[in-house]
Structure 1
Amino acid sequence: MSNKQPGWAIVIHGGVGEPMDCQDGCERAAERALERLREGGEALDAAVSAIVVLEDDGRFNAGTGAALGLDGATIEMDASVMDTRGRLGAVACVRDVKNPVLLARSVAETPHCLLAGEGADRLARALGLSPHPGPSDRQREEHRKMLHELIGSMPAMPGVDNGQFAQFWNYNVPLQLPKRAKCDTVGAVVRDADGNFAVAASTGGSAPSLLGRVGDTPIVGAGFYAGPEGAVAATGIGEQIMRHLLARTVYQWIADGMPLQQALQRGVDLIDKRYEVGLIAVSRQEAGHATNQSEDMPHARIIGR
């Protein structure tokens, strides 16, 4: 192996299907990741810093912008981190954390890899992490739109009969009968100057969804993966991404020598076109993104030495 390092690379996404006017948020996140690298941080430090920017933005379905559950009150968030130094942490169904990615990063220092629900929220309190500020007016409006979609004939979530949400309703309040399903994730993949790789991801979950639903974001190999040959993050309908262990599958193709862009395109082609999906990745020499939709997803890329 050559001793020459390829330099650092950063790729950020703001969620497939998110409007491109959120592009500036991804660019700010990428700049923050770059600052962290220049400050001497490792790849994981940079990836987590980028996700914090997106969680705090309010426009993305993560952190302060997380989607409301069907009851109009519950917020359940997932997040994950992984790097080539062996650190792996994830949280699922957390409710009262401003920055779930920071909690996932903390889990990576515990004896466990994944904490969920009340236990994860209690750890956040013990660590002094900021609580979630509660839903904004924008989130409440998104919820109103979603309920209108549920009473219509078009699926509020691709491939799912709207009536199933009423059939399996499991919130504490009765169902009170939007344009598209909210299923976005924010993600960051980073290669630092020493050739280490890291990935971080965060999501406000899918809307509509049943209480306690967990998607691909905290599932290692599905929504995220990092190994000695690169890092991959996925975004889209988690139930489809999990079926293909998409991030790990794409990573293996890259590790086997497939050009990165070809591997990303092959990955998105695994998913039926009815379901939005996007991927970002970095390898030893490349960095890029792909989506199976005609419209792009907000993203940013910075490459340097």
Structure 2
Amino acid sequence: MSNSQQAGAVVVHGGAGASCDHEDGCVQAARRALAQLEVNGDALDAAIVAVTTLEDDGRFNAGSGSTLGLDGETIEMDASIMDTRGRLGAVACVRDVKNPVKLARAVADTPHVMLAGEGAQRFARTIGMPGGAPISERQRADHRQLMSELAGSVPAMPGIDNRLFDRFWNYKTPLQLPKSSACDTVGAVVRGPDGHFAVACSTGGSAPCLLGRVGDSPIIGSGFYAGPEGAIAATGIGEHIIRHLLARTVYGWIEDGMPLEQALQRGIDLFDKEVDIGLIAVTRTEAFALSNQGMPYSKMTQR
């Protein structure tokens, strides 16, 4: 890893298909990440600050804005961090945690790489992390809309028959069916002034999904990847992203010398147009964001 000084860079996204009216949240997250870079120059610390900002915002599908499960009560969240200093951590299906991305960072200091479910939640309590925010009216309204859509004939998740959620229902409460509201992540990629790279991701889950569903966000190489040539974060429908190991695949093209914008476009072109997909990335010389749908994002560099 090069130790030469260079301009730090940050790219933050709020989810493929999310409202671009929320781009101000991404701008604030990127500004806070740059400010953190000024403090200690650590790319991972900056990425975590950015994602924490979006988790606390309430408008994005992460942290306090996470999607309600089909039972209208359960929230299961995933998050991940990775950098080129060797730090790697993830959590999956974690409940009642205010900032899952901070929990993922804490996992990186344990003997493990990923913690899931009850174990992840107990770990959060052990290290003193606060519980999650109360469910908001916005989250409940999104859930009511989703249940209405599931009762219709149009797929709530592209390519998936709505009846499958009835067939494989695994929540404690009965299914009560009276446009998919979320399959998004939030994420940040950072190039530090010392040449190190980092990525952090967080998601409030998919809607609709079965209990215990894990998407791409905590799976290394699928929703996130960082290596000596850069850092990548993906957003969209995890079941599709995982099949392509999207983040690592795009990183491989960059590693082979492909220009960043071309590599991101090639990654997005792997998917049908009906599948929401977005990518953000930083390399030694570039920073870019691209999506086949509207995607709130912000890109900033140190002066």
TM range (shorter): over 0.9
In structure 2, the CA distance between the partners of 1:106 and 1:19, relative to structure 1 (3 Å rule), is same
Distance 1:263 1:41 in 2: 27
User: Retained in 2: the 8 A contact 1:81–1:105?
Assistant: yes
The one-letter code sitting in structure 2 at the alignment partner of 1:303 is T
1:239 equivalent in structure 2: 239
1:26 equivalent in structure 2: 26
Distance 1:298 1:182 in 2: 14
1:151 equivalent in structure 2: 151
User: Retained in 2: the 8 A contact 1:145–1:178?
Assistant: no
1:303 equivalent in structure 2: 301
Q: Output aligned runs, 1:76-95, within 5 Å.
A: 76-95=76-95
| 1:40-60 Cα distance to aligned partner (Å, 9 max, x none) | 140000000000000000000
1:42 equivalent in structure 2: 42
1:115 is the counterpart of 2:93: no
User: Retained in 2: the 8 A contact 1:9–1:192?
Assistant: yes
Tell me how far 1:6 sits from its aligned partner: 3.2
User: Retained in 2: the 8 A contact 1:6–1:193?
Assistant: yes
Q: Output aligned runs, 1:1-305, within 5 Å.
A: 4-177=4-177, 179-293=179-293, 296-305=294-303
The one-letter code sitting in structure 1 at the alignment partner of 2:19 is P
User: Where in structure 1 do 4 or more consecutive aligned residues deviate above 2 Å?
Assistant: 1-6, 178-181
User: Retained in 2: the 8 A contact 1:70–1:208?
Assistant: yes
Distance 1:83 1:94 in 2: 22
TM-score (norm. length: structure 1): 0.97
Gaps of 5+ in 1: none
Tell me how far 1:3 sits from its aligned partner: 6.8
Identity of aligned residues (%): 67
Tell me how many residue pairs correspond in the alignment. Answer: 303
Give the superposed CA RMSD.
Answer: 1.3
Distance 1:166 1:298 in 2: 33
Distance 2:23 2:156 in 1: 25
TM-score (norm. length: structure 2): 0.98
User: Retained in 1: the 8 A contact 2:41–2:194?
Assistant: no
Name the SS of the counterpart of 2:271 in structure 1.
Answer: coil
User: Retained in 2: the 8 A contact 1:157–1:181?
Assistant: no
Tell me how far 1:178 sits from its aligned partner: 11
User: Retained in 1: the 8 A contact 2:2–2:195?
Assistant: no
Name the SS of the counterpart of 2:40 in structure 1.
Answer: coil
